[in-house]
Amino acid sequence: MKAPKIIILILLITAVGLGIAIYKKNYHPKSVSNSVSLNNNSNKSLTDEQAVLQIPGSSASQEEINKHDALAIKLAVPATELDITDCHAKPVVLLLELENNFNLINSGTKDFKITFEQNNTVSLSPKKSAVIKASSFSHGRGLYGYRCNQTGFDAIAGFIYIVPAQ
């Protein structure tokens, strides 16, 4: 009588463990859960463009957040086009004046979705483009990260740094 109860208990524990593993894999992407601090020595092998995509986690200090933002601003490139190929952006940080627009271009071979903020998603097929207005960002000027979602990839792809018009 004890053996069936033990087997049921083992199966129950295994099911719970598998459920947790599946939840973590689906709802905590590696790009967020493995965020690397800019103070971390293991980050020295990353280029600046790679390091800026490693956003500080929710437990990051204000100093780590400030260092990340400073790196993003340093990398900001004035441009009117954001070219994304297989979820890799050029430039990684786009500098844009608040009054301007930019063209989002899919130079890759697969469809993707780019999410600016939480409710602003743009879907693009290969070799297509879309015009994005800087004024459509909810907080106006500031640093905005965006995610790229494509088959096999869902992570931060870059940043838009919106500044006041000169």
Q: pLDDT-derived band of residue 47, with 50, 70 and 90 as boundaries?
A: very high
Q: pLDDT-derived band of residue 38, with 50, 70 and 90 as boundaries?
A: very low
Q: pLDDT-derived band of residue 150, with 50, 70 and 90 as boundaries?
A: confident
Is residue 23's pLDDT more than 50? no
Enter the pTM of the model. 0.69
CATH superfamily of 76-166: Cupredoxins -  blue copper proteins (2.60.40.420)
Q: pLDDT-derived band of residue 9, with 50, 70 and 90 as boundaries?
A: low
Domain locations along the chain: 1-34, 36-69, 76-166
The residue-averaged pLDDT of 106-124 equals 88
Is residue 52's pLDDT more than 90? yes
Q: Which long-range contacts (CB under 8 A, 24 or more apart) does 100-108 make?
A: 100/134, 100/165, 101/131, 101/132, 101/133, 101/134, 102/131, 102/132, 102/134, 102/160, 103/129, 103/130, 103/131, 103/132, 104/129, 104/130, 104/131, 104/132, 105/81, 105/129, 107/83, 108/84, 108/150
Q: pLDDT-derived band of residue 81, with 50, 70 and 90 as boundaries?
A: very high
Is residue 103's pLDDT more than 90? yes
Is residue 21's pLDDT more than 60? no
Q: pLDDT-derived band of residue 16, with 50, 70 and 90 as boundaries?
A: low
